[in-house]
């Protein structure tokens, strides 16, 4: 009888062990099936949870759409490999993270990081840097503190992008002055998505938008527009436009593919008017007005006064008077007034001046030239956000007119400005004396304005019904939603050009001080925005905050933080063991009964 009870007890224990083993196997099998199921689902369904305050790991909608439309491999060759300071390691890590985000939305994104200094010979390295220079990529030279002292190191924070047999290059480190190195890197990281996605968009774009440069009213010559036009050719089709009162110069009748009817449409996505100096006829104004009424976008670069440094070559004074190009009424109707004045600003570019004689040779000194303001973009609009200084020559102030058009000021002068109304006397001696601060009492004068909305025609209520009602004229007295940018300095787009050698200096380059300004970036952004790429500029609107450690607090409480970082994880493990082990022991005891 006792033997039977012992055998029964062992049999029940064996059955409980088998059932426990079976339950454990089922739990393990269920866990494996769940992992496999989640991986299979995640292959077809992708989602990310970004808990950062500024959503730094969330791509813009336009970038996601662009990546999902890729149908061939796109290769990023990034020249951020090797030994360099920790700040640039951060740029490397953020670039890699951004490309990994791109890969999460497209299987066609590929990348590799290359050491630009990994060459066998000096000649190979020179050939490589020569290729980069022809692409517009400038190496960055930094100082590195080592045990042996300070050494110079050359970095190439750039990338080559290849897609569909085409290639372009992008600079990953911005060219900004008057900001700290930490802020410069942060701004560069902020724009990584925009820079990298723009490169893909440029290579993937099928039909390029068309940009027209207006001629026939004393506008800038081709040499003065060399750099901006060469830069735009990568993104757009360019044409010179001569109105000559031709009704079909900007708009024309287009046949519809659906119903074979004809309708009016613009021939150009953007019209650039670069520094006209001769008056527009009423008929040419009508053509531009109707171009706007049909949704045309215009970049106005106008000088209100005819001031030019060439006039001061042989004399120390000149009188700046109105240009009289006949654009005042049109711009006033659209929402701005370019004033007949010259802005002087204490924050300005210097120019070389003769301040005396040393023997029979003039003594040359760089003096501040208050008629050449340096503009620091203060707006957070994507066109100008994070841009470096902009150089201007003889700029006028702009007034905003109260109408239904939305206005965004893009560029202003500093808080130490003044204006000279026309006719304005310009004297070279102005740069040789200290400015009277009491006269420079104007601040933040607008000089570049973005206008967006529905514009009214300048010719509204001025034309006879017998003309406006003609079907073949296609007249409109108001526009659909469109936009334009008005900048009160025609020279902002002008590059220095050597006609003897047939070569131009970069746009934004100051010949006297050997300084590079951000004029090209400003104008490329402006034309991108006007051409309809404003959705793609969403990536530039994100701001990453620098969350710096409190160095003083860290130094004072260093021991406490060390104890907390080392002791807290160990304490959590002990607490977990103290709770889990008794619970597990009690559960096993219940099962064994």
Nearest residue to 303 (alpha-carbon basis) of 392, 399, 394: 394
Tokens for 41? Answer: 């689902």
Query: What does 394-446 look like in DSSP terms, one character per residue?
Result: S---EEEP-SSSEEEEEEE--SSEEEEESSEEEEGGGGTS---TTT--B---E
Q: pLDDT band at residue 551, thresholds of 50, 70 and 90? A: very low
| pLDDT surpassing 60 at residue 509 | yes
Contact 351, 512 (CB under 8 A): yes
| pLDDT surpassing 70 at residue 231 | yes
Q: How far apart are CA 160 and CA 124, in angstroms?
A: 18
| pLDDT surpassing 60 at residue 129 | yes
Q: What is the mean pLDDT of residues 146-170?
A: 79
pLDDT in tens, 357-376: 777 777 888 899 999 999 98
Q: What is the CA 559 to chain-centroid distance, rounded? A: 44
Q: pLDDT band at residue 544, thresholds of 50, 70 and 90? A: very low
pLDDT in tens, 24-40: 777 778 888 888 877 77
The single residue listed with the structure tokens 């740029």 is 91
What are the contacts of 510-513 at 24+ separation with CB within 8 A? Answer: 510/349, 510/391, 512/349, 512/350, 512/351, 512/352, 512/366, 513/349, 513/350, 513/366
Using CB atoms within 10 Å of the CB of residue 477, give its burial: 0 to 12 exposed, 13 to 18 middle, 19+ buried: middle
**pLDDT number for residue 257:** 53
Q: Which residue has the higher pLDDT, 489 or 567?
A: 489
| pLDDT surpassing 80 at residue 64 | yes
Helix H or strand E encompassing 34: helix 2-44
**pLDDT number for residue 411:** 95
**pLDDT number for residue 546:** 44
**pLDDT number for residue 127:** 83
**pLDDT number for residue 513:** 85
Q: Does domain 61-202 have CATH number 3.40.30?
A: yes
Percent over 70 (pLDDT), the chain: 83
| pLDDT surpassing 90 at residue 310 | no
**pLDDT number for residue 545:** 46
**Residues forming beta bridges with residue 409, ordered by sequence position:** 449
Tokens for 113? Answer: 């990081």
| pLDDT surpassing 80 at residue 167 | yes
Q: Which residue has the higher pLDDT, 54 or 563?
A: 563
**pLDDT number for residue 56:** 55
Contact 357, 379 (CB under 8 A): no
Tokens for 226? Answer: 């060399």
Spans of all domains in the chain:
1-45, 61-202, 210-531, 552-593
Average pLDDT, the chain: 82
**pLDDT number for residue 547:** 45
Least confident window among 47-51, 289-293, 500-504 = 47-51
pLDDT in tens, 81-110: 887 777 788 888 899 999 999 998 999 999
Nearest residue to 272 (alpha-carbon basis) of 297, 248, 244: 297
pLDDT in tens, 42-57: 655 555 555 555 555 5
Percent over 90 (pLDDT), the chain: 35
**pLDDT number for residue 238:** 95
Helix ranges (DSSP H) in 300-388 = 328-334
Which of 163-167, 232-236, 259-263 shows the highest mean pLDDT? 163-167
Q: Which residue has the higher pLDDT, 179 or 115?
A: 115
């Amino acid at each position: 009888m006792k033997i039977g009870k012992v055998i029964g007890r062992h049999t029940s224990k064996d059955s409980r062990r088998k059932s426990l083993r079976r339950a454990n196997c089922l739990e393990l099998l269920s866990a494996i099936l769940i992992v496999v199921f989640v991986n299979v689902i995640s292959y077809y369904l992708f989602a990310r949870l970004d808990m950062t305050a500024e959503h730094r790991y969330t791509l813009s909608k336009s970038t996601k759409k662009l990546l999902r439309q890729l149908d061939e491999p796109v290769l990023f060759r990034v020249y951020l490999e090797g030994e360099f300071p920790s700040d640039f390691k951060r740029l490397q890590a953020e670039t890699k993270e951004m490309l990994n985000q791109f890969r999460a939305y497209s299987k066609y994104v590929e990348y590799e990081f290359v050491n630009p200094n990994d060459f066998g010979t000096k000649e190979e390295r020179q050939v490589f840097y020569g290729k980069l220079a022809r692409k517009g990529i400038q190496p960055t030279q930094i100082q590195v503190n080592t045990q042996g002292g300070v050494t110079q190191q050359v970095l190439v924070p750039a990338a080559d992008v290849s897609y569909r047999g085409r290639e372009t290059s992008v600079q990953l480190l911005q060219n900004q002055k008057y900001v700290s190195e930490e802020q410069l890197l942060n701004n560069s990281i902020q724009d990584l998505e925009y820079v990298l996605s723009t490169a893909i968009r440029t290579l993937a774009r099928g039909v390029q938008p068309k940009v027209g440069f207006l001629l026939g009213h004393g506008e800038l010559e081709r040499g003065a527009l060399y750099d901006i036009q060469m830069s735009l050719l990568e993104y757009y089709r360019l044409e010179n436009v001569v109105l000559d009162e031709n009704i079909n110069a900007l708009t024309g009748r287009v046949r519809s593919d659906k119903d074979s009817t004809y309708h009016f449409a613009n021939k150009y996505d953007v019209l650039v008017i670069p520094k006209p100096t001769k008056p527009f006829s009423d008929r040419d104004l009508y053509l531009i007005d109707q171009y706007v009424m049909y949704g045309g976008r215009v970049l106005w670069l106008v000088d209100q006064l005819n001031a030019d440094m060439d006039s001061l070559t042989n004399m120390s004074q000149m009188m700046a008077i109105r240009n009289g190009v006949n654009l005042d009424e049109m711009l006033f109707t659209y929402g701005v007034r370019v004033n007949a004045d010259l802005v002087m600003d204490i924050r300005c570019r210097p120019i070389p001046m003769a301040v005396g004689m040393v023997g029979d040779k003039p003594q040359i000194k760089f003096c501040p030239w208050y008629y050449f303001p340096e503009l620091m973009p203060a707006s957070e609009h994507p066109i100008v956000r994070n841009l470096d200084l902009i150089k201007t020559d003889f700029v006028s102030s702009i007034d905003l007119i109260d109408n239904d058009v939305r206005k965004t000021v893009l560029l202003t002068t500093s808080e130490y400005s003044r204006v000279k109304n026309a006719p304005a006397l310009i004297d070279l001696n102005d740069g040789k004396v200290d400015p009277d601060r009491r006269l420079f009492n104007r601040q933040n004068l607008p000089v570049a304005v973005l206008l967006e909305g529905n514009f009214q025609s300048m010719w509204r209520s001025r034309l006879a019904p017998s003309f406006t009602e003609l079907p073949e004229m296609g007249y409109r007295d108001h526009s659909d939603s469109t936009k334009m940018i008005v900048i009160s300095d025609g020279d902002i787009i002008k590059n220095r050009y050597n006609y003897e050698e047939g070569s131009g200096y970069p746009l934004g380059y100051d010949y006297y001080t050997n300084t590079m300004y951000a004029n090209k970036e400003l104008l490329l952004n402006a034309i991108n925005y006007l051409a309809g790429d404003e959705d793609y500029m969403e990536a530039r609107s994100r701001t990453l905050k620098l969350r710096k450690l409190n160095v003083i607090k860290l130094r004072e409480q260093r021991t406490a933080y060390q104890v907390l970082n080392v002791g807290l994880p160990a304490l959590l493990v002990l607490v977990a063991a103290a709770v889990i082990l008794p619970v597990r022991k009690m559960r096993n005891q219940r099962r064994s009964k």
